[in-house]
Amino acid sequence: MATVPEELAYSAEHEWVSGDTDAGVVVTVGITEHAAEALGDIVYVEAPRVGDTVVAGEVCGELESTKAVSELYSPVSGVVTAVNEALERAPEAINADAYGDGWIFKVELSESATDLLDAEAYAASVA
C-alpha cells in the first residue's frame, strides 16, 4: 500500500499539498505515491509556469507515463511561484520520491483551501 503522510493535505484527484492552507501562504504541490504507482514510470511532466494562475479542481498540466497521459489538477487556487525544474531532466523523481524530490510546483494561495482531505480520509478513499 502507498504511503500517505499525516502532515499533508490531499485532493480527490490524488494531489498533495504541503504547508498551511490559508490565503497568502505558499504551498508545495505534487501527486501522491498512490497516483505515481498507478501511472507507472513517469517520462514527462508538463507543469504550470511561474506566474500562471491555477484554480482548485481545474487542469493545470499533464503527466505522461509509459502507460498513459494523465491530467494534472491543481488542488488549490493561486499564483504559481516555483516549478520543480529538475523534473524536466528527471521526471522519474516523482516515482522515486513523490513526497520529496518529486514535488511539482509551488503556489501562493489566493484563497484558503477548504476542500482538501486529511491523510485518513484520503487513505480511505484509495483503500
Residue with cell 492552507: 21
Helix (H, G, I), strand (E, B) or coil at 2: coil
Per-residue b/e over 35-66, b at no fewer than 16 CB within 10 Å? bbebbeebeebbbbeeebebebeeebbebbbe
What is the predicted pLDDT for the residue at 53? 98
Is residue 26 within 8 Å of residue 107, measured between CB atoms? Answer: yes
Q: Among residues 48, 34, 33, which one has the least CA distance to residue 105? A: 48
Q: Please give the CATH architecture assigned to the domain spanning 13-109.
A: Beta Barrel (2.40)
- Give the domain ranges of the chain: 13-109
What is the predicted pLDDT for the residue at 1? 63
Encode the chain (127 residues) as per-residue pLDDT tens digits.
689 999 999 999 999 999 999 999 999 999 999 999 999 999 999 999 999 999 999 999 999 999 899 999 999 999 999 999 999 999 999 999 999 999 999 999 999 998 999 999 999 999 8
What is the predicted pLDDT for the residue at 2? 82
Helix (H, G, I), strand (E, B) or coil at 39: helix
User: pTM for the whole thing?
Assistant: 0.96
Q: Among residues 76, 78, 72, which one has the least CA distance to residue 56? A: 76
* Bridge partners for 28 per DSSP: 18, 106
